[in-house]
Amino acid sequence: MESYKREFIEFMVDSQVLKFGDFTLKSGRKSPFFMNAGAYVTGAQLRKLGEYYAKAIHDRYGLDFDVLFGPAYKGIPLAVATTMAISELYGKEVRYCSNRKEVKDHGDTGILLGSKLKDGDRVVIIEDVTTSGKSIEETFPILKSQADVQIKGLIVSLNRMERGLDSDRSALSEIQDKYGFETGAIVTMEEVVSCLYNQPYKGTVYIDDTLKSAIDAYYEQYGARKEA
């Protein structure tokens, strides 16, 4: 496992973004873990978060793209922080772009925040986590309606590795099949378990045998089909 991935897992725990226990998800599933990117609230946290995303994008897609698009609302600070980190880490200038939930009809009109989109722009979409792929169903038409852009891929922070709503494949795999662009994550839940299972971090074992059994049972019920 790359060192930045292990550091990112510990960073999620430190920031109380990744929690373990008993949670009811929006989908109605009962889950022994929960990730809430809204818990990144300080300047230092957002700066580090942007750096982790930048490294993952560099590893997955390289830097041959023009725009980083963050869907409203959580994607807006992610896009801003990561474009700054890409500039600082790699000396590459990319533009940030996000959408509004409502079209603005005065001043800076339109549905977009940040950079406008141009024909030929190569776009990477950035999100916190994708469980069902519903947000991409909303985002994809917005991007395509603004300009003739090429979507290079989607990057999320955590791949939950559970099946989507329409098949036994993961939501990220469903998106890749449906829309024809690559998908990736900074870390997978499998990597989280590998890093934390019976491994004390700052004096605490976050995934002990009991929680590991609960996670295993969750994936027996909701886990995505393993893919080659």
pLDDT tens by residue, 152-194: 999 999 999 988 777 888 889 889 999 999 999 999 999 999 9
Q: What is the pLDDT of residues 10-51, one digit of tens each?
A: 999 999 999 999 999 877 889 999 999 889 999 999 999 999
Total structural domains in the chain?
A: 1
Active-site annotation, residues: 104, 106
CATH classification at residue 211: 3.40.50.2020
Any domain includes 63 = yes
Q: Closest Cα to residue 5, out of 200, 193, 203, 228?
A: 193
Residue 204 lies in a domain: yes
Number of DSSP helices (H) and strands (E) in the chain, helices first: 7, 8
**Buried-state track 152-168, b at ≥16 Cβ within 10 A, e below 16:** bbbbbbbbbbbbbeeee
In the predicted model, what is the mean pLDDT of the chain? Answer: 91
DSSP reduced 3-state for 207:
strand
| Residues facing residue 184 across a β-bridge | 155
Domain, as residue range, for 42: 3-222
In a domain, 186, yes or no: yes
Comparing CA positions, the residue from 193, 149, 156 lying closest to residue 173 is: 156
Q: How many CB atoms lie within 10 A of CB 172?
A: 24
